[in-house]
Structure 1
Amino acid sequence: MALVTGGAGALGAATGLRLARAGSRVVLVDVDGDGAERAAERITAQTSLPVIGRKADVTAEADVERLIAEIAAEHGRLDQLVNAAGRNARGGFAEMREDWDQVVAVNLWGPALLCHAAADLMGRHGGAIVNIGSRTWLSGGPAAYAASKAGLVGLTRALAVELGPRGITVNAVAPSMVITPFTRRDRSDAEFAAIVERHEAMSAVPGLASAEDVANAVAFLASPEARFITGEVLHVAGGAQLAPRP
């Protein structure tokens, strides 16, 4: 049984599809419940597998506890948790105050709540947690976003140590630029083209990562093949996590 947050978004939906194709029963969760249901319906249409879409706010403790309780009652287990819900604020440090709490709540507090609520259920059989980070934890970026993603790496490593004895691995996937509605939002065509060009120039491998590239990395870390890997950050960045090319 797999739970993927941010299921209405490109990365969450791609991850849900990849896990479903690997044999997991998938629940997609998003604060946009209708979007999660539509994504689940698309995956079901492609795979003929019963993917579920549900509404939940990952920053609300009551929503998270209800969600995990429903999964426990309906399925009796949770094997994979993917924290893919994300929020960004693109302003500079001077303008970031009003966005700070929302960004940190979704990107860091939400995964912490999910991991805390899911640990007992996952610990009955063992399992895998994969947190979706960002290359910005190394490179920097918008202050609230980069700080939250760096914090997510710290959370990943702390939980890897704490939950390992219960048979739960905890890892992070850190993508570079992926062209999605999330990264394109509120940007003009010219502005977005310039951003894409800049990120392509940073990559040692031609092009940019796709949502499917990220989903493949998540699926590996969530699979039995990665059973002895924990506390790691897997960059899906074409080498852009290294110093930019001159």
Structure 2
Amino acid sequence: MSVAVITGGGGDIGGAVATRLAQDGWTVIVTDVDPAAARLVAERLPRAHARRLDVADPDDIGAFVSSAASDFGRVDAVVCAAGIEPPQNLADIDVASWDRTQDVNLRGPALLAQAVLPLWTEQRSGSLVNIGSRTWLGGGHPGYAASKAGLVGLTRSLAMELAPIGVRVNAVAPSFVRTGFSRQRGDERMLDDYAERVRAMTPMRELVLPVDVANAVAFLASDQAARITGEVLHVCAGSQLPMFLH
């Protein structure tokens, strides 16, 4: 039995990841700060369990990992999909929202990995996949972009530190994905306009879907990626390519 923990599992991307891993035969623990959202995902999947988890709360992380270890005996993969993006420019930033963004998007993955570390040390195996963002290269709302750039640094640092015990650490960096999470950016009309502008600037002229992100995560979490660590896989329909006029 291979066990995967997905944070933010009640969201569109986290739910797609849980679905794909369940299809691949994983036992999935779908976690979310909203337990009802986690249950909605878990109820439609085989070998799925819903748990409440606030990744911004260190005590909650510790209690969750202790419970998971008792219930399942192991954790083979952790997928950190929980995230927030307050739509704030520099002039609008307040300390509370900045700190909350870093706590959820950056500190949460670090503390969750730390809590699972004893299991990974005993197992001599494991995989951590962080859901990043293209904003780590191109910028965006300052607090969010800073947290996602920090997540790349965390990914690479943990890849170096955990390699000797057989744990791989990678990140998936999607471009804009039209999800419920996107509504933090604005209303539907604004999102329609933004999505079309992204599509027009993308070489494939396609928007990335949650299932595209889930497929990348499933690969990185699997034994097929056994010799891949410290990487950032951009899932962005070619928008990582330099744009030249032809």
TM-score by length of 1: 0.95
- For 2:4 and 2:11, locate their aligned partners in 1 and report how far apart those are by CA, in whole Å: 16
Q: Which residue of 1 aligns with 2:62?
A: 65
Q: Deviation string for 1:194-229 (max 9, x for gaps)?
A: 110121122111211100000000000000010110
Q: Which residue of 1 aligns with 2:214?
A: 215
- For 2:120 and 2:68, locate their aligned partners in 1 and report how far apart those are by CA, in whole Å: 11
**Residue correspondence of structure 1 range 128-143 to structure 2 within 5 A:** 128-143=127-142
2:114 alignment partner, SS class: helix
Q: Which residue of 2 aligns with 1:106?
A: 104
Q: Which residue of 2 aligns with 1:118?
A: 116
- Partner residue of 2:74 out of 77, 83, 106: 77
Q: Which residue of 1 aligns with 2:19?
A: 17
The change in CA–CA distance for 1:142 and 1:243 in structure 2 (over 3 A counts) is farther
Q: Which residue of 2 aligns with 1:31?
A: 33
**Residue correspondence of structure 1 range 219-234 to structure 2 within 5 A:** 219-234=218-233
Note the C-alpha offset of 1:245.
6.0
Structure 1: gaps of 5 or more residues: none
Q: Which residue of 1 aligns with 2:9?
A: 7
Note the C-alpha offset of 1:74.
1.0
**Residue correspondence of structure 1 range 180-219 to structure 2 within 5 A:** 180-185=179-184, 187-219=186-218
Q: Deviation string for 1:78-118 (max 9, x for gaps)?
A: 10000000000112111122421111111001001111111
Cα pair 1:7 1:85 within 8 Å, conserved: yes
- For 1:185 and 1:170, locate their aligned partners in 2 and report how far apart those are by CA, in whole Å: 28
1:124 alignment partner, SS class: helix
Which aligned segments of 4 or more residues in structure 1 are displaced greater than 4 angstroms?
none
Q: Which residue of 2 aligns with 1:94?
A: 91
Identity across the alignment (%): 47
| Counterpart code for 2:82 | A
Note the C-alpha offset of 1:239.
1.6
1:58 alignment partner, SS class: coil
**Residue correspondence of structure 1 range 46-61 to structure 2 within 5 A:** 49-61=46-58
Note the C-alpha offset of 1:186.
6.1
| Counterpart code for 1:72 | A
2:29 alignment partner, SS class: strand
Number of positions where the alignment pairs a residue of Structure 1 with one of Structure 2: 241
Cα pair 1:59 1:113 within 8 Å, conserved: no
